[in-house]
Amino acid sequence: MWFAHLRDRWWISVGARSVKARNAAADPRVSLALQDADAPVVAQGRVTVHHGDFPPDVVAAFQERYDYDIRVPFERQGQDRALMEVGVTRWLLSGTAQ
Protein backbone atom coordinates (compact mmCIF):
# COMPACT_ATOMS: atom_id res chain seq x y z
CA MET A 1 0.00 0.00 0.00
CA TRP A 2 1.32 3.40 -0.92
CA PHE A 3 0.67 6.32 1.37
CA ALA A 4 1.60 9.90 2.17
CA HIS A 5 1.33 11.87 5.40
CA LEU A 6 0.21 15.41 4.69
CA ARG A 7 -1.77 18.06 6.60
CA ASP A 8 -2.05 15.80 9.68
CA ARG A 9 -3.79 13.17 7.58
CA TRP A 10 -2.73 9.81 6.21
CA TRP A 11 -3.56 9.45 2.51
CA ILE A 12 -3.65 5.87 1.22
CA SER A 13 -3.93 4.90 -2.45
CA VAL A 14 -6.27 1.95 -3.09
CA GLY A 15 -8.31 0.51 -5.91
CA ALA A 16 -11.71 2.20 -6.11
CA ARG A 17 -13.51 -1.18 -6.00
CA SER A 18 -11.10 -2.85 -3.56
CA VAL A 19 -12.22 -4.52 -0.36
CA LYS A 20 -10.40 -1.77 1.59
CA ALA A 21 -12.36 0.98 -0.16
CA ARG A 22 -15.68 -0.83 0.21
CA ASN A 23 -15.10 -1.58 3.89
CA ALA A 24 -14.07 2.03 4.59
CA ALA A 25 -17.18 3.35 2.83
CA ALA A 26 -19.39 1.02 4.89
CA ASP A 27 -17.73 1.81 8.25
CA PRO A 28 -15.42 4.83 8.57
CA ARG A 29 -13.70 3.54 11.74
CA VAL A 30 -10.21 2.31 10.84
CA SER A 31 -6.89 1.42 12.36
CA LEU A 32 -3.47 1.96 10.81
CA ALA A 33 -0.30 0.00 11.40
CA LEU A 34 2.81 1.17 9.58
CA GLN A 35 5.69 -1.22 10.08
CA ASP A 36 9.03 0.22 11.01
CA ALA A 37 11.25 -1.85 13.29
CA ASP A 38 12.63 1.20 15.09
CA ALA A 39 9.61 3.51 15.15
CA PRO A 40 6.26 1.83 14.31
CA VAL A 41 3.05 3.79 13.99
CA VAL A 42 -0.27 2.36 15.19
CA ALA A 43 -3.38 4.54 15.32
CA GLN A 44 -7.16 4.57 15.18
CA GLY A 45 -9.12 7.08 13.16
CA ARG A 46 -11.91 7.87 10.75
CA VAL A 47 -11.66 7.59 7.01
CA THR A 48 -13.16 9.44 4.05
CA VAL A 49 -12.89 7.71 0.69
CA HIS A 50 -12.23 10.05 -2.25
CA HIS A 51 -13.12 9.02 -5.80
CA GLY A 52 -11.48 11.34 -8.30
CA ASP A 53 -11.60 14.47 -6.16
CA PHE A 54 -7.94 14.24 -5.18
CA PRO A 55 -6.42 17.40 -3.66
CA PRO A 56 -3.57 18.76 -5.80
CA ASP A 57 -1.09 18.82 -2.90
CA VAL A 58 -1.79 15.14 -2.19
CA VAL A 59 -1.33 14.25 -5.87
CA ALA A 60 2.01 16.11 -5.76
CA ALA A 61 3.08 14.30 -2.58
CA PHE A 62 2.52 10.88 -4.18
CA GLN A 63 4.31 12.03 -7.34
CA GLU A 64 7.32 13.16 -5.31
CA ARG A 65 7.40 10.09 -3.04
CA TYR A 66 6.67 7.31 -5.56
CA ASP A 67 7.05 9.00 -8.96
CA TYR A 68 3.56 8.11 -10.11
CA ASP A 69 0.27 9.89 -10.71
CA ILE A 70 -2.46 8.58 -8.40
CA ARG A 71 -5.11 9.80 -10.85
CA VAL A 72 -4.11 7.16 -13.42
CA PRO A 73 -6.18 3.92 -13.19
CA PHE A 74 -4.51 0.65 -12.27
CA GLU A 75 -3.55 -0.94 -15.57
CA ARG A 76 -3.58 -4.62 -14.60
CA GLN A 77 -6.68 -4.44 -12.43
CA GLY A 78 -8.72 -2.28 -14.80
CA GLN A 79 -10.06 -0.07 -12.04
CA ASP A 80 -9.83 3.55 -10.98
CA ARG A 81 -7.92 4.59 -7.91
CA ALA A 82 -9.43 5.92 -4.73
CA LEU A 83 -7.80 7.81 -1.90
CA MET A 84 -8.50 7.00 1.71
CA GLU A 85 -8.06 10.09 3.88
CA VAL A 86 -7.54 9.07 7.50
CA GLY A 87 -7.68 11.50 10.39
CA VAL A 88 -6.19 9.99 13.55
CA THR A 89 -8.41 10.14 16.62
CA ARG A 90 -6.23 8.03 18.93
CA TRP A 91 -2.56 7.08 18.86
CA LEU A 92 -1.82 3.61 20.17
CA LEU A 93 1.87 3.78 19.33
CA SER A 94 3.38 6.86 17.74
CA GLY A 95 6.71 6.37 16.00
CA THR A 96 8.22 8.36 13.18
CA ALA A 97 7.43 6.21 10.14
CA GLN A 98 6.58 8.44 7.18
Closest C-alpha among 47, 27, 40 to residue 87: 47
Q: Where are the beta strands (DSSP E) in the chain?
A: 2-6, 9-15, 29-34, 41-50, 81-94
Render pLDDT for 28-81 as a digit per residue (tens, 0 to 9): 999 988 777 677 778 899 999 999 889 999 999 999 999 989 898 876 667 889
Q: Quote the Cα angle for 64-74-27, to 5°.
A: 90
Q: What is the pTM of this model?
A: 0.83
What's the topology of domain 2-94?
A: Pnp Oxidase; Chain A (2.30.110)
CA distance linking residue 79 with residue 93, whole number of Å: 34
Q: pLDDT category, 96, cuts 50, 70, 90?
A: low
What pLDDT, on a 0 to 100 scale, did the predictor assign at position 1? 75
What pLDDT, on a 0 to 100 scale, did the predictor assign at position 93? 75
Domain ranges of the chain: 2-94
